[in-house]
Structure 1
Amino acid sequence: MDIIISNSNGKPIYEQITSQIKNLIISGELKPGEALPSMRLLAKELRISVITTKRAYEDLERDGFIESITGKGSFVALQNSEFIREEHLRKVEEYLQNTIETAKIANISLEELIEIMTMLYEEGER
């Protein structure tokens, strides 16, 4: 599991870990039931505090992405397809919000934006 920590990123380290593990789960790279590295091992690999990895794992568990079993470790939770779809929708909305803000700054009309999105969407289907 490759997690990259950036000190120049404005996000706290635990949030960087959380979002990267969520993305690995949503993309299917981490499968349901798959074991995650222990908090100590991940902290050692990333050269960060165990408290930081503990916070990330707690957030992932709270959000339903992982399950922790005392004495056994943390595992990718079984996800239902609706939950994964909601996460994808949330991510798309976030990207579209950034796109809309950029389009407004560039004085791109809604019609032009829809035309660009339609073209890109259909191009991806080929």
Structure 2
Amino acid sequence: MRVVLSNSSGVPLYQQVKDQIGTAILSGELAEGDALPSVRALARDLRISIITTTRAYAELASEGFISTVPGKGAFVLALDSALLREQLLRQVEEGLLTALDAARRAGLGRQELIDVMDGLMRTEFEHV
């Protein structure tokens, strides 16, 4: 797993860490039971504050992605299908909001946007 941070993205560093680890878990790059770097090691590797990595891990734990065991570290939890679906739905919604914003700026109407989506879905499903 590789975490890449950007100071110019406008997204807080803890959120970038959390999002990238969460994405690695959702994609299967990190599997159930995999150990994450310690808070201190991750902070050192990324050259960020221990407080930042602690917050990222705390949020991942509260969302059910990881479990922290005092003295042993943080480990990836099994994803239950409802959690996985909810996280993926959130990603779809974020992507669609971005698309809606671009469509609004381009002056696309509802039907034009639906036509674009239908075309993209047909193309995507033909290649599957």
TM-score normalised by the chain length of structure 1: 0.95
Once the two structures are TM-superposed, the CA of residue 52 in structure 1 deviates from its matched residue by 1.1
Match of residue 80 from structure 1: 80
Residue 74 of structure 2: SS of its match in structure 1? strand
Residue 10 of structure 1: SS of its match in structure 2? coil
Match of residue 121 from structure 1: 121
Residue 75 of structure 1: SS of its match in structure 2? strand
Once the two structures are TM-superposed, the CA of residue 47 in structure 1 deviates from its matched residue by 0.9
Match of residue 12 from structure 2: 12
Percent identity over the alignment is 46
| Number of residue pairs matched by the alignment | 126
What runs of 5+ residues in structure 2 fail to find an aligned partner? none
Q: Which ranges of 4 or more aligned residues in structure 1 deviate by more than 6 Å?
A: none
Once the two structures are TM-superposed, the CA of residue 101 in structure 1 deviates from its matched residue by 1.6
Match of residue 30 from structure 2: 30
Residue 35 of structure 1: SS of its match in structure 2? coil
TM-score normalised by the chain length of structure 2: 0.94
Match of residue 50 from structure 1: 50
Q: Deviations over 1:23-54 (max 9, x none)?
A: 11111111111110111111111011111111
Instruction: Give the superposed CA RMSD.
Output: 1.0
Match of residue 91 from structure 1: 91
